[in-house]
Structure 1
Amino acid sequence: MHGWSTRRAAERFQCSPATAAKWAARYRAGLAMSDLSSRPHTTPTRTSARLERRIINLRVTRRWGPHRISYHLGVPRSTVGRVLGRYRMPLLAHLDQATGRVVRRPHPVRYERTRPGELAHMDIKKLGRIPAGGGHRMLGRTAGNRNNKRTRPGYAFLHHVVDDHSRYTYSEILNDEKASTVIEFWRRAVAAFTDIGITIEAVMTDQGSAYRSRAFAAELGTTRHLWTQPYRPQTNGKVERFNRTLAAEWAYATTYLSEEDRAATYPDWLHFYNHHRPHTGIGGAVPASRVHNLTGNYS
């Protein structure tokens, strides 16, 4: 091809004359005959290294999703997603929630009712009370067990009703899980949902004795009662997810020196969950935004 013009060479290799001239100049200069990266030498608008470290730290230590990290740090969701992708962080669905290790699992099929009140999920979370002076999760086994033996605090029972469509939750901390307690709680929950414009048409529970009682069936009246599959807590997945969230973000999120201290913060945390905390299951929205009677009524 010696002596060919740039245009003739371009015609032979089916490229533009500008491209042929570029390659010829690169050959004459002794540069590598391979494509160079189109990445700019500097990126002034790139996320700072400090912010990237904060994003990765929250992902690793808290195992939060992009929406939760975005809300906590006050940065766009897309920025968090790019940082997680840049560092090849595994999906939360591929992590073991207890250890944080990567364990690939198939994605479950997510279902959702089309309107508030069409289905509510009801459950009881049994939670060890914090002894006076603090528990073992924050103080260690030695000090925590000493406090526990001295005061013997027992257990608290968190009763929940979660709306399937909006994820709006009514919850109380009570002393037991007897049928009479469940019935009284159900009445207060129904009244609370009615106040925000939700009429509960059906409720799903597990096979607990209180839920199987005749008194509870009579209290439900015309409200349909659906049951979870035995040994399959995934059937009641939305309320189980709420249990996991409250454990990570409220029950064991900080050091409490007594059960009273922790219980006193629950109403505020529950309000935050319903009105301010973004929920990945509903596209990063907050539960209250899906309850038409509440839209715009919270700050």
Structure 2
Amino acid sequence: MNIHKNASMTPKGRAHLVREIDRIGLKPAAAAAGLSERTARKWHRRHACEGTGGLLDRSSRPQRCPRRSQASKIERAVALRRTQRLTYECIAERVGLSRSTVARACKAAGVARLPALQDAVPVRRYERQSPGELLHLDTKKLGRFDKPGHRVTGDRTQNTPRAGWQALHVAIDDHSRVGFSLMLADETAKSACAFVLGALRYYKTLGVKVERVMTDNGSAYKSRRFAKLLRRLGIKHIRTRPYTPRTNGKAERFIQTLLREWAYAFIYPTSEHRTRELQPWMYHYNFHRPHSATSHRPPITRLGFDGNNVLRNYI
């Protein structure tokens, strides 16, 4: 039982009051306890009728509430919320209750937030057995700038007019989580092909031979130029289902990490300074940064590299 911090009497004090009333009388006992005779008489009467349990605090809720909403209306309001997904205002108009009453009833029934129309798609996690079996590719547009923008200054009027965009191309190995990224001028098929060649050269230096690549359905990845390059290299191309980015979730998650820990983590004077910091950050990501999918060890450890062998790591 929770006793108010400023309570003048506790159950123990009330028991003492009852004993004093029996010993010296009502009026002296009430005066000694600093209570009115009416209050002292109340506790003495409760103890006589209910025993020690009568000295405990009781709920302040009234025993009857004539103006309380009918239970049938409350049940109907909850049913309308659960089955027809109506708003509080519509339910209140149909049932004849106030909006606040409908809101309280729905909250108590656990339907304050409308349930999803469809069940959530079950998460299907997978991981290839060896490095190079599958390489995830994706791109992200980043704006150019000649001075810090609104993310730093908070002033959206401070921008770089007609600065244009850059395209961050990323690749990540499905098994090892070793990543590779380049900042290129655009997202065209020519840039995508150049990035693939750069990524293959990088992974080759680590002893990884790429067998498959997974991309979304961007125009560059669906181009004939990109398909011809992969055929010539003997690499199988897998594309995700339309409007299903979670299929390529490792690349999407890698981009979010890049944005959080590299692109938006520091105040860069210009976009060129940001680009120059990309490769040092990639070294940190691959060789030093703990990764949850690799038992909180750097991704490079899954390729058999010793984290202390600097000459071998930084090829």
Task: Quote how far apart the aligned CAs of 1:296 are.
Answer: 4.8
Paired letter, 1:292:
G
Match of 2:292 in 1: 280
**1:115 corresponds to 2:130:** yes
1:115–1:243 CA distance, 2 compared to 1 (3 A): same
Task: Quote how far apart the aligned CAs of 1:146 are.
Answer: 2.5
CA RMSD of aligned residues (A): 1.8
**1:205 corresponds to 2:219:** no
For residues 148-168 of structure 1, the C-alpha deviation after alignment (integer angstroms, 9 at most, x for no partner) is 23xx32211011111000110
Q: Judge conservation of contact 2:137–2:169 (CA < 8 Å) in 1.
A: yes
Match of 1:292 in 2: 304
Task: Quote how far apart the aligned CAs of 1:214 are.
Answer: 1.4
- Where 2:138 maps in the other structure, the secondary structure is strand
**1:266 corresponds to 2:281:** no
When normalised by structure 1's length, the TM-score is 0.60
**1:178 corresponds to 2:192:** no
Q: Please give the alpha-carbon distance, in whole angstroms, between the structure 1 residues aligned to 2:221 and 2:185.
A: 17
Q: Please give the alpha-carbon distance, in whole angstroms, between the structure 1 residues aligned to 2:218 and 2:306.
A: 33
Q: Please give the alpha-carbon distance, in whole angstroms, between the structure 2 residues aligned to 1:264 and 1:229.
A: 34
Q: Judge conservation of contact 2:135–2:174 (CA < 8 Å) in 1.
A: yes
Of the two structures, which has the highest relative contact order with CA contacts closer than 8 Å and spacing of 6 or more?
Answer: 1
Q: Please give the alpha-carbon distance, in whole angstroms, between the structure 1 residues aligned to 2:239 and 2:121.
A: 24
Match of 1:156 in 2: 166
Aligned partner (choices 210, 227, 242) of residue 230 of structure 1: 242
Match of 2:225 in 1: 215
- Where 1:173 maps in the other structure, the secondary structure is strand
- Where 1:141 maps in the other structure, the secondary structure is coil
Q: Which has the larger radius of gyration?
A: 2
Task: Quote how far apart the aligned CAs of 1:141 are.
Answer: 2.4
How many aligned residue pairs are there?
A: 190
Aligned partner (choices 124, 128, 135) of residue 149 of structure 2: 135
Paired letter, 1:251:
A
Match of 1:242 in 2: 254
Q: Judge conservation of contact 2:139–2:169 (CA < 8 Å) in 1.
A: yes
Task: Quote how far apart the aligned CAs of 1:294 are.
Answer: 6.2
| Amino-acid identity (%) | 44
1:238–1:184 CA distance, 2 compared to 1 (3 A): same
Q: Please give the alpha-carbon distance, in whole angstroms, between the structure 2 residues aligned to 1:256 and 1:205.
A: 30
When normalised by structure 2's length, the TM-score is 0.57
For residues 68-98 of structure 1, the C-alpha deviation after alignment (integer angstroms, 9 at most, x for no partner) is xxxxxxxxxxxxxxxxxxxxxxxxxxxxxxx
Q: Please give the alpha-carbon distance, in whole angstroms, between the structure 2 residues aligned to 1:178 and 1:195.
A: 26
